[in-house]
């Protein structure tokens, strides 16, 4: 019975997959997927690799891999404005039919200094993608004889072209605030980010055997803060992520708790700053997301797991998706310059 429920649920999920986007639960480490205005906004340079493996408990796993890179330009020019540029690549494969998505995007942003503590960014995204499926992996009723499957039998189905390409576009706005801590162990600084983006605008339009797969406009709202508990090693990082795409809605909220393990050497550089973060987030009516990340100097590695709590949990036994990421940023995020570099 569990297998039957899972199969039926995943059939409908697969049909919806062509009209919706793959997503990551650790959205804060997929900055360009979330909002093109994030390009160059918080770091001089940032590179992130992401991987997700989902629904392996009830079907062939859905696997998503992404890579993004962004940087700021004309640093140190003394002006109150600069540009950010970036790019991202994403590949997704879903289910037995290998429903696939390959997409590459370019991002550009214009960022202005509002005052000594805040900045405003406007970003644009443009790119190309390809969607497809492997009909050879599908099984049909006509291929069963005496209760046994025979791949040599004809499916008696007529298939259209298994792949199609499309152009995609997006735009976004983001505001950031950053107030210095007096020194790293004072831990009394505050950072905040609020943003909104829209993408697709119905641009990807093609079909598989007449089924409309045009992507509906996707709207994303996101907000996060970093608030240190003064004179301790503990920082609270609450966040909220909202997505609306057609009738599909996603709401993810929760907090990460980061603990400073070691303060780096200020002069010799022999000791590198390090921290550990534990996160608990809830995706409304869907999953409980737990995460662990370790920061060491300019590098961060993280892992998270989605515990499925939706109606599909009967078939999934609460097993949802595993995510991994590796991030590199400059300058060192532990230093005061991570907030004050644009003053």
Average pLDDT over every residue of 176-191: 74
Listed in sequence order, the residues at least 6 apart from 123 whose beta carbon sits closer than 8 Å to its beta carbon are: 35, 36, 37, 38, 39, 84, 107, 108, 109, 110, 171, 172, 173, 174, 197
Instruction: Give mean pLDDT, residues 311-324.
Output: 70
- The full set of domain ranges for the chain reads 2-132+163-340
Q: What CATH number matches the domain at 2-132+163-340, 2.40.160.40, 1.10.10.10, 3.40.50.300, 1.10.357.10?
A: 2.40.160.40
Task: Supply the pTM of this predicted model.
Answer: 0.83
Q: Would you state the structure tokens that stand for residue 232, as one six-digit string?
A: 């301790």
Higher pLDDT, 198 or 212: 198
**Residue among 16, 18, 13, 19 nearest 217 (CA):** 19
pLDDT over threshold 60, residue 85: yes
Q: What is the mean pLDDT of residues 20-39?
A: 91
Q: Tens of pLDDT along 129-159?
A: 888 777 666 777 777 777 777 777 777 666 6
pLDDT for the residue numbered 280: 97
3-state secondary structure at position 136: helix
Question: CA quadruple 9, 10, 13, 18: dihedral positive or negative?
Answer: negative
Q: What is the mean pLDDT of residues 184-189?
A: 68
């Amino acid at each position: 019975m569990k297998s039957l429920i899972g199969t039926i649920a995943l059939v409908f999920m697969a049909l919806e997959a062509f009209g919706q986007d793959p997503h990551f639960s650790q959205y804060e480490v997929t900055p360009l997927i979330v909002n093109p205005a994030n390009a160059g906004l918080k770091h001089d340079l940032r590179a992130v690799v992401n991987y997700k493996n989902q629904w392996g408990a009830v079907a062939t796993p859905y696997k998503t891999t992404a890579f993004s890179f962004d940087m700021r330009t004309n640093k140190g020019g003394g002006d109150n404005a600069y540009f950010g540029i970036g790019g991202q690549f994403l590949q997704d494969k879903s289910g037995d039919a290998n429903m696939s998505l390959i997409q590459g995007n370019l991002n550009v942003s214009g960022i202005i200094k509002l005052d000594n503590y805040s900045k405003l960014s406007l970003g644009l995204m443009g790119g190309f993608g390809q969607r497809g499926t492997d009909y050879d992996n599908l099984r049909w009723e006509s291929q069963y004889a005496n209760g046994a499957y025979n791949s040599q039998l004809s499916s008696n189905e007529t298939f259209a072209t298994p792949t199609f390409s499309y152009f995609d576009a997006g735009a976004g706005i983001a505001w950031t605030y950053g107030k210095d801590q007096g020194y790293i162990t004072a831990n009394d600084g505050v950072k905040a980010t609020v943003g909104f983006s829209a993408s697709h605008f119905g641009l990807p339009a093609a079909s598989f055997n007449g089924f409309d797969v045009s992507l509906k406009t996707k709207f994303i709202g996101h907000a996060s803060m970093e608030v240190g508990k003064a004179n301790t090693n503990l920082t609270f990082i609450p966040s909220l992520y909202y997505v609306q795409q057609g009738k599909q809605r996603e709401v993810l909220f929760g907090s990460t708790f980061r603990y400073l393990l070691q303060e780096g050497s200020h002069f010799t550089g022999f000791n590198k700053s390090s921290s550990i973060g534990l996160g608990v987030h809830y995706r409304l009516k869907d999953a409980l997301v737990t995460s662990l990340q370790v920061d060491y100097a300019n590098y961060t590695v993280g892992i998270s797991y989605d515990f499925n709590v939706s109606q599909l949990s009967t078939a999934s036994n609460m097993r949802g998706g595993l995510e991994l990421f590796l991030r590199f940023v400059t300058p060192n995020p532990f230093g005061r310059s991570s907030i004050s570099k644009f003053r």
